[in-house]
Chains A and B, each alone.
Chain A
Amino acid sequence: MVYRIFVEKKPAFDQEAEALRRELTDFLGVASLTGLRVLNRYDAEGISKDLFDQAVRTVFSEPQVDTATETPDLKGGAVFAVEYLPGQFDQRADSAAQCIQLISQGERPLIRSARVYVLYGDLTENEIAEIRRYVVNPVEAREASLQKPETLRVEYAVPTEVKTLTGFRELDREGLTAFVRGYGLAMDTDDIAFCQQYFADEGRDPTITEIRMIDTYWSDHCRHTTFLTEIDGVTFDDELLQKAYESYLDVRRELHRTKPVCLMDMATIAVRYLKAHGKLDKLDESEEINACTVKMEVEADGKKEPWLLLFKNETHNHPTEIEPFGGAATCIGGAIRDPLSGRSYVYGAMRVTGAADPTRPVSETIPGKLPQRKLVTTAAAGYSSYGNQIGLATGIVDEIYHPGYAAKRMEIGAVIAAAPAENVRRERPEPGDVVILLGGSTGRDGIGGATGSSKAHTAHSVETCGAEVQKGNAPEERKLQRLFRNPAACRMIKRCNDFGAGGVSVAIGELSANPRSAWRWRWRRRTCPPSWPSPRRRTCRPAPWPGSRRSLGWSWRGTGRRSWTSAGRSWIPTARPSIYASRPAAPPIRKRPWSAGSGRTWSAWPRT
């Protein structure tokens, strides 16, 4: 049985509806809009009528400020309802379900929420359509039915086999180009031709999972395609630049660099040079590339202790451009995860963004883009919502205005963190070590985040890129912050990596000392959430696996089991130290190549 309730703020407390009304009349220019109401609609299932009624008074509404009714009077207005796309994390519904569970101390009910908008005034069809377009961002939300559903349960087919791409090896050049387009891959024809050659040598056709995995791994987001491109010739019209370039070449000679000239080399060579000359002596070097790490001394209650200071900057330009709230929220979420996986406590954040003038009228918006004003304010709401919830002090927030950022917004989050050095153990993973994927579960969106952000975009991006963004779940990441502040937990970890946009396919590989063997890990428990439509999603999912960029892996609630483990290469001895006791360090097998880089992050140490 599904119960439904509508909750609306009393007139004295309806600032949200009022703010939206002002935005629509003043900013969008719909002058004939005379009134606007916003109602929250909740559907609940798996709950008794008594419990539901109690929840109406204590969870869904608050009698001081809200009115709650099963039959709202919507006469005389244009009505539409908006809900999140299936798979988007809905914190409102999730939290309501948890509150009810707290009261009942029983099973968690199914809750779905929607917002109902009621528009008043002499509005034309066109104006109503315009308001709908303004309110509903198709990347994350859709119009909801006004009918009450029979059930809230959704059946998902459980994938049983992985599709093999029969005939892939026979495709000609044109066919390969069509293949890239057909599957929406980020790689180009040369890349796919390279894959074709590889599988021809193997004597088999690839599976779709393999192609998606390679696409993720090779995306610019994960592999610095641009930064690692070999530069074989340069011409200068400027003497200053030429001199600087020559000084760069001198430094290369001095350091005996024989690797090709590329942007990455230019970005990192100063550090190599300074280190060779005995500078940067506080740099903490390790095989882990979670965040910039320097050694420091902290005087704690008058006693000097060795500590590590970690910092990291992260961008989420593409996701923020198409879904500013979730994109900006997961920007800070992702930035936190890097030093967090370095076992440090993240306490400070900075936000620097780039936008076009947000005070220009909405009519000047480039077709296919969100208006700048909506972008800047929604992104600020998203980032602050996440940062405020997770509890780190945001010390500086600035925004740079330049017309060029209308092409794509810039959303940078930078974080700072610290940890006592004794909490951070750095060892090489070995065969037999246990890998734990840890984090929260959210929706099934977010797939293709890495490849999406590496593509140049066109006017259709907002409609077709829906699956590439996701919502973060800050309270879950906060739990990870607590866990990693616990020295006992930290000291169990040999090596740790966060999920970037490349998901498991990149993260596990990066954990390994030997990227080749990394691919031999196996799922020990092949249970997966029903919301995963195809095995592809198990590997190419960005970040905290079931869907958010906010955790170090994941765990899933469905089976009542807290975590997944996988046999194969390495991460962290779990809670049973007798079984997973660490072993003495093995001799180095092979240094990690650039292709195992951590996300798009580059760092200036020890990869030669």
Chain B
Amino acid sequence: MERLAEDLNVCSRRGLSERFDSTIGAGTVLMPFGGKHQMTPIQAMVQKISLEQKHTDDCSLMAWGYDPVLTTESPYHGAYSAVVESVSKLVATGASFEDVYLTFQEYFPKPGRDPRRWGLPFAALLGAFRAQMDLGIGAIGGKDSMSGTFENLDVPPTLVSFAVTTEKARRILSNEFKGADHRAVLLSPEYDENGLPEKGSLLALYDRVSDLIHSGKALAAYTPERGGAAAAVMKMAFGNGLGFRFAPEVPLEALLADKPGRFLLEVTEPVEGALTLGETTEAFAFVRGDEALDGPALQSVYEDRLEGVYPCNIPTVPGPVETFRFSAHEHPRARFQAARPRVLIPVFPGTNCEYDSAKAVRDAGGEPVVLVLNNLTPAGIVASTDRFAKALQNAQMVFIPGGFSGGDEPDGSGKFITAFFRNERIKDGITDLLDHRDGLMCGICNGFQALIKLGLVPYGRIMETDESCPTLTYNLIHRHQSRIVRTRIASNKSPWLSLMDVGDVVNVPISHGEGRFVADEALIRQLAENGQIATQYVDLEGRATVDVRFNPNGSLYAIEGITSPDGRVFGKMGHSERIGHGLYQNVPGNYDNRMFEAAVRYFR
């Protein structure tokens, strides 16, 4: 099992994957890694169909299949199995086997004039042809690249199958083990004399697995891939930190066999005709007969294999940390009421969260006013400034959405936005909104970076910042981080957080490269006393922490969000706008901090 865990083709890819934004669009049904520890890799990507304003439960699924070792041995078997693997992953994730479509990626050594080299893609395509005919599904697109040769070295014959289908989000099943003392069973199709699944049996198995999933009998499902059922058990267990006791009678070969089209299910009731592999345990350890492997140790092996290349578990830098608490006694309302407050949402070149932000505002009863800044020509900039200044006069709130304004260049985020807000007309408009019209302002992620670099948080006004001001800088891990974090409401002084209680813990997707809050100790103390530290990153016990697993950027005092002195300007890193029904099913928790609703109520 340890050997498996450190196999390059089995080990964790978390450090690689988490630098990719996985939640933008507020449609992510399954996070790339599931369980409360976010450690179980999903097998199919599931996203809601992206609708600009409306809501839907319909989602798309996509999964891939390919094994380089098998395809090198036999391109025919490899291609056939790739198709089966990609489809099985969809089925294991809760999709019914109907309306599945494929697209292929072929990558082969340059064939030249050698008939044997021509035989590689030829055999692979025959395998893929048979798989399509047997399953009754087709590859409706593909890409071929036939130049995988460098001098005397060739790429392995490669045919990656991508399978795509649609399903309702409520029918999706995540693949991490859900609880202790559950049984894990393996269902296999019949295999023919060539070691490939017999088609009738495979199709029947697809239906059966779907039934078990949709009737609620299966609590988690996984189709074993590299590393067989043993690797599957390990990955399924890591997510929620559960252990596993293997049934002693199951031979090792059955656990390690690498055959396409099998399913490992977590169940509470016996399943007829299935091989019981063992059961989940509360104790985080993997036991087979007399052998026992410590869970954390195995997990380190699994995660450390690529840590040097793709870091994710950087050592914690010890620093002072404290869980802050500031409860507001009352929440003032705006003097100027609005039934449907207008929220001005500027779109800068590189902004990419405006759709999600506008939707969150609209859903909460506000009226989003999205304004695109045209920077094509000097005249375009002047005209945009003019439009923005006018729109600002009619708005109750300004919301600066996330993104990468100016590509986070030159060497630092938010500079593009701050340059815009430092324009005299805009600056005056903001001052008017905040000082004379009881307006609200918020910035998330890139918007927060802009607010802090303008001085709007924590000072409540646009100013020239100097060395003594707090800022947000590069994550300690020195790369982009995208995952779910837990944040605790440290102060509900802000009108944006008036519907929350201090101590409430909210899950929130983060996605940023520069989220490390820094300020000097005295200022942090002062902010805490004044209730300006709004939210903090906390661990599973709800304690503020500098541990990178929970505090993704190394923020001082685990600070996630801060406000202006009276709380009306609010900046935070976590994407609280990326919420919606049926999202993040494999990382359970409350995702709604009700900030948009609270802001709208402030004007009513």
Contact of B350 among A380, A387, A389 (CB under 8 A): A389
Q: Counting CB contacts under 8 A, is B467 at the interface?
A: yes
Contact of A404 among B42, B60, B99, B154 (CB under 8 A): B154
User: Does B22 lie within 8 Å of A394, measured CB to CB?
Assistant: yes
Q: Counting CB contacts under 8 A, is A108 at the interface?
A: yes
User: Does A98 lie within 8 Å of B416, measured CB to CB?
Assistant: yes
Given contact pairs A280-B140, A376-B309, A292 touches B480 in the complex (Cβ within 8 A): no
In the complex, number of A-B residue pairs with CB atoms less than 8 Å apart: 450
Given contact pairs A102-B375, A244-B129, A604 touches B153 in the complex (Cβ within 8 A): no
Interface mask (B139-160 → A, CB under 8 Å = 1, otherwise 0): 1111111111111011110101
Contacts of B128 in A (CB 8 A): 267, 270
Q: Counting CB contacts under 8 A, is B432 at the interface?
A: no
User: Does B76 lie within 8 Å of A240, measured CB to CB?
Assistant: yes
Given contact pairs A270-B133, A380-B310, A400-B68, A416 touches B47 in the complex (Cβ within 8 A): yes
**Closest CB-CB distance, B313 to chain A, in whole Å?**
16
User: Does B378 lie within 8 Å of A407, measured CB to CB?
Assistant: no
**Closest CB-CB distance, B22 to chain A, in whole Å?**
5
Q: Counting CB contacts under 8 A, is B372 at the interface?
A: yes
- Distance in angstroms between the alpha carbons of A394 and B422 in the assembled complex: 34
Q: Which of A157-165, A298-306, A516-524 contacts B (4 or more CB under 8 A)?
A: A298-306
Interface mask (A399-412 → B, CB under 8 Å = 1, otherwise 0): 11110111110101
Q: Which of A591-608 contact B (CB under 8 A)?
A: 599-605
Q: Counting CB contacts under 8 A, is A296 at the interface?
A: yes
User: Does B23 lie within 8 Å of A92, measured CB to CB?
Assistant: no
Q: List 5 A-B contacts (CB under 8 A).
A: A106-B378, A240-B194, A279-B136, A312-B103, A399-B13
Given contact pairs A103-B422, A404-B156, A456-B149, A395 touches B28 in the complex (Cβ within 8 A): yes
**Closest CB-CB distance, A484 to chain B, in whole Å?**
12
Interface mask (A430-472 → B, CB under 8 Å = 1, otherwise 0): 0000000000000000000000011111110000000000000
**Closest CB-CB distance, B559 to chain A, in whole Å?**
15
CB-CB nearest in chain A for B554 = A15
Given contact pairs A226-B144, A405-B155, A266 touches B125 in the complex (Cβ within 8 A): yes
User: Does A388 lie within 8 Å of B21, measured CB to CB?
Assistant: yes
Given contact pairs A318-B147, A400-B66, A412 touches B25 in the complex (Cβ within 8 A): no
- Distance in angstroms between the alpha carbons of A454 and B30 in the assembled complex: 38
Contacts of B154 in A (CB 8 A): 404, 407
Contacts of A105 in B (CB 8 A): 378, 381-382, 385, 423
- Distance in angstroms between the alpha carbons of A95 and B406 in the assembled complex: 5
- Distance in angstroms between the alpha carbons of A185 and B54 in the assembled complex: 51
Q: Which of A73-81, A354-362, A527-535, A542-550 contacts B (4 or more CB under 8 A)?
A: A354-362
CB-CB nearest in chain B for A281 = B99
A-binding residues in B (CB < 8 A): 8-9, 13, 16-17, 19-25, 27-28, 30, 32, 41-42, 44-47, 49-52, 54-58, 60, 62-64, 66, 68-69, 72, 76, 99, 101, 103-107, 109-111, 115, 118, 121-123, 125-130, 132-133, 136-151, 153-156, 158, 160, 162, 164, 166, 194, 305-306, 308-310, 347, 349-350, 352-353, 372, 375-378, 381-382, 385, 403-404, 406-407, 409-412, 415-416, 418-420, 422-423, 453, 464-467, 469-471, 473-474, 476, 478-480, 482, 511, 518
CB-CB nearest in chain B for A418 = B49
Q: Which 4 A-B pairs have the closest CB atoms?
A: A391-B352, A395-B45, A270-B132, A95-B406
Q: Counting CB contacts under 8 A, is A227 at the interface?
A: yes
- Distance in angstroms between the alpha carbons of A476 and B62 in the assembled complex: 27
Contacts of B49 in A (CB 8 A): 296, 298, 307, 309, 347, 418
User: Does B146 lie within 8 Å of A220, measured CB to CB?
Assistant: yes
- Distance in angstroms between the alpha carbons of A383 and B19 in the assembled complex: 10
Given pairs A92-B410, A244-B130, 6 additional interface contacts (CB within 8 A) = A269-B129, A317-B148, A348-B45, A350-B162, A408-B150, A601-B143
- Distance in angstroms between the alpha carbons of A91 and B385 in the assembled complex: 23
Q: Counting CB contacts under 8 A, is A107 at the interface?
A: yes
Contacts of B66 in A (CB 8 A): 352, 400
- Distance in angstroms between the alpha carbons of A226 and B153 in the assembled complex: 19
CB-CB nearest in chain A for B384 = A102
User: Does A102 lie within 8 Å of B20, measured CB to CB?
Assistant: no
Interface mask (A265-286 → B, CB under 8 Å = 1, otherwise 0): 0111111011100011011000
Contacts of A63 in B (CB 8 A): 465-467, 469
CB-CB nearest in chain B for A293 = B140
- Distance in angstroms between the alpha carbons of A101 and B353 in the assembled complex: 24
Interface mask (A106-129 → B, CB under 8 Å = 1, otherwise 0): 111000010000000000000000
CB-CB nearest in chain B for A315 = B145
Contacts of B155 in A (CB 8 A): 354, 402, 404-405, 407-408, 410
CB-CB nearest in chain A for B377 = A560
Contacts of A459 in B (CB 8 A): 151
- Distance in angstroms between the alpha carbons of A292 and B28 in the assembled complex: 22
**Closest CB-CB distance, B75 to chain A, in whole Å?**
9
Contact of A98 among B16, B60, B123, B406 (CB under 8 A): B406
**Closest CB-CB distance, A6 to chain B, in whole Å?**
12
Q: Counting CB contacts under 8 A, is A48 at the interface?
A: no
User: Does B150 lie within 8 Å of A366, measured CB to CB?
Assistant: yes
Contacts of B466 in A (CB 8 A): 63-64
- Distance in angstroms between the alpha carbons of A7 and B409 in the assembled complex: 13
**Closest CB-CB distance, A399 to chain B, in whole Å?**
6
User: Does B21 lie within 8 Å of A393, measured CB to CB?
Assistant: yes
Q: Counting CB contacts under 8 A, is A231 at the interface?
A: yes
User: Does B465 lie within 8 Å of A64, measured CB to CB?
Assistant: yes
Q: Counting CB contacts under 8 A, is A58 at the interface?
A: yes
